[in-house]
Amino acid sequence: MYVGSCNGLFRSLDAHTGKVRWETNVRGKAPQYFFHGDVSIAPDRIVASTDVDAATGETAGVHAFDRNSGRELWKHAAGRGVKGAVIGAGSRVFVYTIAGELVALDIDSGKPAWTYPLKAPVWESPAVVGTRVFGGSTDGLVSAIDVETGRLQWQRKLGVPVNTSVRATDADVYAGTADGTLYRLSAASGEVRSSLKLDPALKPVSAPLLAAGAVLVLLADEHADYGALVSLDPALGRVNWRQAAPDKWTTSRVFESQGAVWLGDPSGGVTAYCAADGKPAWSHKLASAPIRSIGGSDEILYVGTPQGTLYALRQPHPCK
């Protein structure tokens, strides 16, 4: 498994023992150098995004590491860098930069194939399906751009800032906006096919997850505290269920595995909610610190805290 932390270290750990296989330090002279977004894994390399405080004089961006040795293969410097996930497709990776661009990089060389100006929500990421990359922006636009050329194919004005990552299927593009609405657009034309107002005060955040025949999306308040999880039918015709956080959740993305959605809270608790009905099925206080990230495989859950402690758990199966 791969993990990046806020000290500029990117590591490969043995998934079953936690033993360090390799580690690479990319922070330069910066005291802190952050890996925040999800990585993209190719057969021979792993591509990760970083961000840094500009006052350090360092630049951050996108790094590619050899999967076997950890050697840094290339770095694309992009000022303060990239906070959101790296999305890979074919020979390219795609990111939103903090500076306000959607960038397509060649995965072999790290050289930009094209850039497109886009005021994207910086913690989020674009989506790629087929020949199009889809991005949302804080000026209320959803755009479809040709993967190869970087040319605009269509643009839809929603009129409200896009607040989430964009996610897509062959037919549909999903984007949440700051007025609490989730939109479904035609991937081919950008036409709004349906939309659903999810909440008058909370707004959709993070990446909508298309899983188990539903769309799962987190809702957050004005302080960016995660307060509710909503499951919708993919046509956005109805809400399947809605689950409120007991207080708030501190994990910034929806992770689903084995029919359960795993979320962490400020007091170190991890709770599994069944994806079918949203009901809590298993909960355990794992740490004394907030839970920041949860990921894993069918058998193992990896749970991280902001202090840098990483736990590997044998995954319970409470929703089977």
Q: How far is CA 138 from the centre of its chain?
A: 17
Residue type, 19: K
Q: How far is the CB of 53 from another protein (least distance, A)?
A: 15
- Round to whole Å and give the CA distance between 77 and 197: 39
How far apart CA 236 and CA 253 sit, in angstroms, is 20
Residue type, 192: V
End-to-end CA distance of the chain: 25
Q: Length of the chain, please?
A: 320
For residue 310, the number of C-alpha atoms closer than 13 Å in the C-beta half-sphere is 22
Of residues 237 and 246, the one with the C-beta less far from another protein: 246
Q: Which is nearer to another protein, 42 or 313 (CB)?
A: 313
119, 138 Cβ separation under 8 angstroms: yes
The distance of closest approach from Cβ of residue 20 to another protein in the complex, given in angstroms and rounded to an integer, is 8
User: Residue 169: CA atoms inside 13 Å, Cβ hemisphere, count?
Assistant: 15
Residues 6+ apart with CB under 8 A from 17: none
Q: Given the DSSP bridges, would you call strands 239-249 and 2-4 parallel, antiparallel or unpaired?
A: unpaired
Binding site for another protein (CB under 8 A): 3, 5-7, 9, 11, 13, 16-18, 279-284, 286, 300-301, 304, 306-316, 318
Element (H, E) at 260: strand 260-264
